[in-house]
Amino acid sequence: MSECVFCAVLQGLKGAEVYRSPSGRAYRKVRDLPASVAILGHDQFYRGYTVVIARTHATELYDLADGELAQYLADMVGVARALDRAFRPRKMNYECLGNTVAHLHWHLFPRHTDDPNPKRPTWQHAHEPPAVSDAEAAATIAAICRHLA
Ligand SMILES: [Zn+2]
């Protein structure tokens, strides 16, 4: 289990707002939730992009016990609702893939009115993730948290 990137992130975010991985990447906590931890996505090209990581190391949604699954989905929808209220996107995209990191996590991508390729998945629009300062990340997290129950 120790080789799982997200297990390491969850461990690193216990009692911390930011975890820096051995490679130097910063993982910024948005909020601790009952069945998950929400973190700010690295690529803020899609403003507000958030990842909701299950507390339990599991690969598939159906691997979670029913009660935990219901809570995990409620956590995810609550974050999506907060993103909607914070940023008023045109559409929300929900992606649960796990092909690279096989630990349950939802990618929540707000799709904004200035989206350059609004009808296609985010990964089909080549772009460089914008540089985000600590202050900008903190402002984005604060905007999301204002609307999180
Ligand atoms: Zn894991």
Domain definitions of the chain by residue range:
5-145
Q: How far apart are CA 119 and CA 149, in angstroms?
A: 30
**pLDDT greater than 60 at residue 30:** yes
Which helix H or strand E contains 83, and what residues bound it?
A: helix 66-87
Q: How confident is the model at residue 2 (pLDDT cuts 50, 70, 90)?
A: low
51 Cα: distance to centroid of ligand 1 (angstroms): 14
Instruction: Report how far ligand 1's centroid is from the alpha carbon of 115 (Å).
Output: 32
CATH 3.30.428.10 correct for 5-145 = yes
Classified as helix, coil or strand, 10 is helix
The closest of 52, 61, 55 to 144, measured between CA atoms, is 52
Calculate the average pLDDT of the chain: 96
**Token pair recorded at residue 70:** 């219901």
Q: Scanning the structure block, which residue is given the tokens 């990581």?
A: 53
pLDDT the model gives residue 7: 97
| Confidence band, pLDDT 50/70/90 cuts, at residue 149 | confident
Indicate the pTM of the whole model. Answer: 0.96
